[in-house]
Amino acid sequence: KKGLAVTGFDFSGEYLKEAAARAKKKKVSLRLMRGDMRGLKFRGEFDAAVNLFTSFGYFQKFSDDLKTLKGVAAALKPGGLFLLDSVHGDFLLKNFRARDWHDQGDHYLLEERSANRDGIFSAWTRIPKKGGKILKKIFFIRKYGKERISAALWKAGLKPFKFWGGFSGLP
Protein backbone atom coordinates (compact mmCIF):
# COMPACT_ATOMS: atom_id res chain seq x y z
CA LYS A 1 0.00 0.00 0.00
CA LYS A 2 3.03 2.29 0.44
CA GLY A 3 4.11 1.71 -3.17
CA LEU A 4 6.96 -0.67 -2.45
CA ALA A 5 7.79 -3.59 -4.69
CA VAL A 6 7.95 -6.57 -2.32
CA THR A 7 9.40 -10.03 -2.86
CA GLY A 8 8.71 -12.75 -0.33
CA PHE A 9 11.14 -15.68 -0.28
CA ASP A 10 10.61 -18.70 1.93
CA PHE A 11 11.23 -22.43 2.05
CA SER A 12 7.70 -23.05 3.36
CA GLY A 13 5.01 -23.39 0.73
CA GLU A 14 2.42 -23.00 3.48
CA TYR A 15 3.84 -19.65 4.58
CA LEU A 16 3.88 -18.45 0.98
CA LYS A 17 0.23 -19.50 0.51
CA GLU A 18 -0.69 -17.56 3.63
CA ALA A 19 1.23 -14.51 2.39
CA ALA A 20 -0.56 -14.69 -0.97
CA ALA A 21 -3.95 -14.93 0.74
CA ARG A 22 -3.22 -11.95 3.00
CA ALA A 23 -1.94 -9.87 0.08
CA LYS A 24 -5.06 -10.68 -1.94
CA LYS A 25 -7.30 -9.76 0.98
CA LYS A 26 -5.51 -6.42 1.38
CA LYS A 27 -5.44 -5.88 -2.40
CA VAL A 28 -1.67 -5.53 -2.64
CA SER A 29 0.65 -7.25 -5.06
CA LEU A 30 3.86 -8.99 -4.22
CA ARG A 31 6.18 -11.50 -5.79
CA LEU A 32 6.46 -14.75 -3.86
CA MET A 33 9.20 -17.30 -4.41
CA ARG A 34 9.92 -20.64 -2.78
CA GLY A 35 13.49 -21.69 -2.18
CA ASP A 36 16.35 -22.40 0.18
CA MET A 37 17.96 -19.25 1.58
CA ARG A 38 21.40 -20.82 1.13
CA GLY A 39 20.90 -20.56 -2.63
CA LEU A 40 19.70 -16.98 -3.16
CA LYS A 41 20.25 -16.05 -6.82
CA PHE A 42 19.37 -12.34 -6.74
CA ARG A 43 22.04 -9.87 -7.87
CA GLY A 44 21.87 -6.18 -6.93
CA GLU A 45 18.09 -6.21 -7.02
CA PHE A 46 16.93 -4.90 -3.64
CA ASP A 47 17.16 -1.66 -1.69
CA ALA A 48 16.55 -3.63 1.49
CA ALA A 49 16.26 -7.18 2.78
CA VAL A 50 14.47 -8.19 5.96
CA ASN A 51 14.81 -11.45 7.89
CA LEU A 52 12.44 -11.56 10.86
CA PHE A 53 11.49 -13.78 13.80
CA THR A 54 14.78 -15.67 14.18
CA SER A 55 14.49 -17.14 10.70
CA PHE A 56 18.28 -17.28 10.51
CA GLY A 57 20.77 -19.53 12.26
CA TYR A 58 18.93 -22.86 11.90
CA PHE A 59 21.69 -24.62 9.98
CA GLN A 60 24.04 -26.84 11.95
CA LYS A 61 26.99 -25.81 9.78
CA PHE A 62 28.18 -22.22 10.09
CA SER A 63 29.18 -22.33 6.43
CA ASP A 64 25.46 -22.56 5.56
CA ASP A 65 24.73 -19.41 7.58
CA LEU A 66 27.58 -17.71 5.73
CA LYS A 67 26.18 -18.80 2.33
CA THR A 68 22.90 -17.18 3.31
CA LEU A 69 24.52 -13.91 4.38
CA LYS A 70 26.64 -13.79 1.20
CA GLY A 71 23.46 -14.32 -0.82
CA VAL A 72 21.81 -11.40 0.94
CA ALA A 73 24.86 -9.21 0.35
CA ALA A 74 24.79 -10.05 -3.37
CA ALA A 75 21.03 -9.41 -3.58
CA LEU A 76 21.32 -5.84 -2.27
CA LYS A 77 21.94 -2.78 -4.40
CA PRO A 78 24.98 -0.69 -3.39
CA GLY A 79 24.05 1.02 -0.12
CA GLY A 80 21.21 -1.46 0.46
CA LEU A 81 20.19 -2.27 4.01
CA PHE A 82 19.68 -5.62 5.73
CA LEU A 83 17.57 -5.96 8.87
CA LEU A 84 18.22 -9.22 10.70
CA ASP A 85 15.99 -10.05 13.66
CA SER A 86 17.32 -12.85 15.83
CA VAL A 87 17.15 -13.93 19.43
CA HIS A 88 20.36 -13.02 21.26
CA GLY A 89 22.56 -15.97 22.24
CA ASP A 90 23.05 -14.66 25.79
CA PHE A 91 19.27 -14.43 26.20
CA LEU A 92 18.93 -18.05 25.09
CA LEU A 93 21.44 -19.19 27.68
CA LYS A 94 20.09 -17.00 30.48
CA ASN A 95 16.53 -18.21 29.89
CA PHE A 96 17.40 -21.79 28.97
CA ARG A 97 14.83 -24.40 29.96
CA ALA A 98 15.41 -28.05 29.23
CA ARG A 99 11.68 -28.79 28.86
CA ASP A 100 8.38 -26.96 28.34
CA TRP A 101 4.80 -28.11 27.78
CA HIS A 102 2.33 -25.95 25.82
CA ASP A 103 -1.41 -26.46 25.44
CA GLN A 104 -2.09 -25.58 21.78
CA GLY A 105 -5.86 -26.18 21.82
CA ASP A 106 -6.25 -29.39 19.82
CA HIS A 107 -2.82 -30.72 20.81
CA TYR A 108 -0.03 -30.47 23.35
CA LEU A 109 3.47 -29.42 22.38
CA LEU A 110 6.45 -30.75 24.30
CA GLU A 111 9.72 -28.87 23.75
CA GLU A 112 12.89 -30.59 24.94
CA ARG A 113 16.17 -28.71 24.57
CA SER A 114 19.88 -29.30 24.91
CA ALA A 115 22.68 -26.79 24.45
CA ASN A 116 26.26 -26.90 23.27
CA ARG A 117 28.79 -24.12 22.61
CA ASP A 118 27.33 -23.40 19.14
CA GLY A 119 23.63 -23.42 19.81
CA ILE A 120 20.52 -25.11 21.10
CA PHE A 121 18.85 -28.25 19.79
CA SER A 122 15.12 -28.31 20.33
CA ALA A 123 12.96 -31.39 19.83
CA TRP A 124 9.28 -30.57 19.41
CA THR A 125 6.77 -33.35 20.00
CA ARG A 126 3.19 -32.60 18.91
CA ILE A 127 0.68 -34.81 20.73
CA PRO A 128 -2.95 -34.68 19.54
CA LYS A 129 -5.54 -34.54 22.34
CA LYS A 130 -8.08 -36.76 20.56
CA GLY A 131 -5.93 -39.43 18.98
CA GLY A 132 -3.96 -39.18 15.79
CA LYS A 133 -0.36 -39.23 14.83
CA ILE A 134 2.32 -37.92 17.17
CA LEU A 135 4.72 -35.71 15.22
CA LYS A 136 8.31 -34.94 16.18
CA LYS A 137 10.69 -32.37 14.68
CA ILE A 138 14.18 -31.40 15.72
CA PHE A 139 15.48 -27.85 15.28
CA PHE A 140 18.79 -26.14 15.82
CA ILE A 141 19.37 -22.45 16.51
CA ARG A 142 22.89 -21.04 16.50
CA LYS A 143 23.78 -18.82 19.44
CA TYR A 144 24.62 -15.42 18.00
CA GLY A 145 25.64 -12.48 20.12
CA LYS A 146 26.74 -9.07 18.88
CA GLU A 147 30.39 -10.05 18.31
CA ARG A 148 29.64 -13.35 16.60
CA ILE A 149 26.98 -12.00 14.25
CA SER A 150 29.14 -8.95 13.49
CA ALA A 151 32.04 -11.20 12.47
CA ALA A 152 29.72 -13.29 10.27
CA LEU A 153 28.24 -10.19 8.60
CA TRP A 154 31.70 -8.75 7.88
CA LYS A 155 32.85 -12.10 6.47
CA ALA A 156 29.85 -12.11 4.12
CA GLY A 157 30.52 -8.58 2.87
CA LEU A 158 27.92 -6.82 5.00
CA LYS A 159 28.73 -3.96 7.37
CA PRO A 160 26.96 -4.16 10.73
CA PHE A 161 26.18 -0.70 12.03
CA LYS A 162 23.34 -0.76 14.55
CA PHE A 163 22.01 -3.22 17.12
CA TRP A 164 18.78 -3.09 19.08
CA GLY A 165 17.32 -5.15 21.89
CA GLY A 166 13.85 -5.22 20.40
CA PHE A 167 11.55 -3.63 17.83
CA SER A 168 11.00 -0.62 20.09
CA GLY A 169 14.66 0.36 19.72
CA LEU A 170 15.87 -0.76 23.15
CA PRO A 171 19.67 -0.95 23.51
Predicted confidence at residue 72, as pLDDT, reads: 98
When pLDDT is averaged across residues 29-55 and rounded to a whole number, the result is 96
Predicted confidence at residue 132, as pLDDT, reads: 92
How do 31-34 and 7-10 pair as beta strands? parallel
- Please give the mean pLDDT across all residues of the chain: 95
- pLDDT category at 169 given cuts 50, 70, 90 is confident
Residue 101: strand pairing partners: 110
Residues 6 or more apart in contact with residue 27 via CB below 8 angstroms: none
Position 77 pLDDT exceeds 90:
yes
Predicted confidence at residue 167, as pLDDT, reads: 82
117 compared with 61, residue with greater pLDDT: 61
Instruction: Give the predicted TM-score (pTM) of the model.
Output: 0.88
How do 99-103 and 107-115 pair as beta strands? antiparallel
Tens digits of residue pLDDT in 101-160: 999 999 999 999 999 889 999 999 999 999 899 999 999 999 999 999 999 999 999 999
Ranges 11-15, 70-74, 76-80, 162-166: which has the least confidence: 162-166
Tens digits of residue pLDDT in 2-20: 999 999 999 999 999 999 9
